[in-house]
Amino acid sequence: MKRAFTMPPELYAKMLDELSNLFFTEKLGLDSDMNFYRNDFWLTDTAVIEMLLLRKGAWEVNLLFAHHKTPLKFLSRRITSHSCPKRARTMAFYMRRLAAKDQRGTLSLDINDLNLTLN
């Protein structure tokens, strides 16, 4: 059986003191700190790519939103997970179509647009 975690009283007092001092060292965020959240108009011109990943025995459906003119501007979101790969592929297909502005999938990305140098 594992022993219960114990902490010396002086260490516990120091930890509480540091936590109370944290109030004085932190500062409030500025309104401009949330601009990345508000400036999401670029998401309307994105190519949506579905990705299936096997994690912990379940197939995760992730959607990657990549701007078709500047491909290095992208956003990845986990949507759902399924135990069956066939159901996950079906869900990914419908989620991509639902999320894409261009549901036919004509917006696409080319690997050459990234100007990668593989050394």
Whole-prediction pTM value?
0.56
Looking at the predicted structure, is the pLDDT value of residue 40 above 80?
no
Residue 24 falls inside a structural domain: no
Residue 50 falls inside a structural domain: yes
At 88, is the pLDDT very low, low, confident or very high (cuts 50, 70, 90)?
Answer: very high
Residue 25 falls inside a structural domain: no
Residue 116 falls inside a structural domain: no
Residue 60 falls inside a structural domain: yes
* Percent of the chain topping pLDDT 70: 75
When divided into structural domains, the chain yields a total of: 1
Residue 83 falls inside a structural domain: yes
Range of the domain at 65: 39-104
Residue 32 falls inside a structural domain: no
Token pair belonging to 116: 């990668």
Q: What digits encode the pLDDT tens for the residues 41-75? A: 777 777 888 889 998 889 999 988 887 777 677 88
At 10, is the pLDDT very low, low, confident or very high (cuts 50, 70, 90)?
Answer: very high
Looking at the predicted structure, is the pLDDT value of residue 80 above 60?
yes
Residue 119 falls inside a structural domain: no
DSSP classification of residue 69? S
Average pLDDT over residues 8-36: 79
